[in-house]
Amino acid sequence: MDFSGKDSFMPSNNEAQRLSRLLKHCNVRVFEGNGHTILLESGVNLLSTIKTTQMYRHSSKYDVFKDFLPISMTEFKTSPMENWWYRLCIGTAVFSTTEDGKIVRGLAGIPDKGPVLVVGNHMLWGFDAFSVVLEFLREKKITLHGLAHPEIYQIRVEDEFIMIPYTDAVKILGAIPVSPRNLFRLLSRNSYALLYPGGARESLHRKACYFFSLKEASLFWPDKEEFVRMAVKLGATIIPFGAVGEDDLSELIIDYNDMKRIPFFDQMVNEYNQGRTNLREGMGGEIAQQPLHIPIFLPKLPGRYYFLFGKPIQTKGKEHMLDDKNYLRELYMQIKCDVEKNIDYLLTKREDDPYRGIVERVMWLMNCGSLDQIPSFEP
């Protein structure tokens, strides 16, 4: 059930709350910027609302795979991350590596057939995932299913107004709650999956580990090769990638460690995490330290996001190596090493990018062409 925040004709807020108490399985969605004729107004897509509230399904229980509808062209064009100003500020520059080891601009190095497992590092807040997924849609016409933290799908009522625009975009773009079973189901369907082994700990990193502004890359990956065995079992192609650029768009000023020293923030973080899922609880080490919180940062004059997808690693035909622990460990370390090398490469090469700053990109756009054609460094 939807209600409008600017309905001057009737108190739709009160009416929606009243009906939600009477109707079973009723979801209330708020459209603060719309009026009484909500379905006739711009910015409201009824199909998107039906999809994100899981009302489109083939049975009484929603199945995240069977009931998934690929993003429509209208949804793609109206996505908040497709706004021209957002794309201009982010300035995403994507590179990939072909089978012969050559680095090229774009996604020519990505296989055209699945299953494919794309593995890399998270930047602050994890917003970089939107850029990756949208680039796959734009260039390859492929849905890259991001494996996301389950809490994204369990938004509390008091957080709805802030989080719904974010979670709706995540769901429409094909994100799946992260779990071994869901990864298996994706790869067994020859799909493309996006995995961040560092999870919430890497996405919500600390100032001491603000590694994308440093030359030393540091990944918060688990000790065990969680995903490698499954990729080998299903013959998936693994694509390790590195991402940099958050230090050019924001500066982290209050992290988790700071919050724990400030009573007000400490209490807020503790209350926010009550009853929430820690996917790595019991693992030990730094990877298990992933309480959900909201780091506070200051925006900068926008720089640019950079992504480098490494040389594809083929595992098809290696199923007989599943019991070889040394092989699995070496493969895991190779993937991690490739991600770190990609990060180092981008940190070095972006210094030669004449369009790293937003001012240079604006000037180029005014004189030369479209957002899809903004140049970068020569690989």
pLDDT digits (tens, 9 = 90+) for 95-143: 999 999 999 999 999 999 989 999 999 887 778 899 999 999 999 999 9
Q: Which residue has the higher pLDDT, 305 or 283?
A: 305
Q: Which of 20-24, 76-80, 155-159 has the highest mean pLDDT?
A: 76-80
Which residues is 177 bridged to in the sheet? 148
Only one residue has tokens 């001012």, namely 359
By percentage, how much of the chain surpasses pLDDT 70? 87
> What's the pLDDT at 137?
95
DSSP characters for 102-114?
-EEESSTTS-SSS
Closest CA to 240 of 148, 342, 358, 150: 342
Is the separation of the CB atoms in 161 and 30 below 8 Å?
yes
* pLDDT digit string, tens, across residues 169-178: 888 899 999 9
To which H or E segment does residue 244 belong? Answer: strand 237-244
Q: Which of 158-162, 209-213, 222-226, 364-368 has the highest mean pLDDT?
A: 364-368
Q: How confident is the model at residue 215 (pLDDT cuts 50, 70, 90)?
A: very low
Cα–Cα distance measured from residue 264 to residue 252, given in angstroms and rounded to the nearest whole number:
19
To which H or E segment does residue 82 belong? Answer: none
Closest CA to 124 of 212, 195, 222, 193: 212
In angstroms, the Cα distances linking 220 to 19, 26, 200, 288 are 46, 40, 9, 10
DSSP secondary structure code for residue 362 in this structure: H
Residue 157 has pLDDT above 50, yes or no: no
* pLDDT digit string, tens, across residues 1-18: 555 666 777 777 777 778
Closest CA to 202 of 290, 140, 283, 138: 290
> What's the pLDDT at 321?
93
> What's the pLDDT at 256?
84
What are the structure tokens assigned to 275, written together? Answer: 């009853």
Which residues is 237 bridged to in the sheet? 116, 314
pTM here is 0.88
> What's the pLDDT at 163?
52
In angstroms, the Cα distances linking 138 to 77, 91, 105, 141 are 10, 15, 14, 6
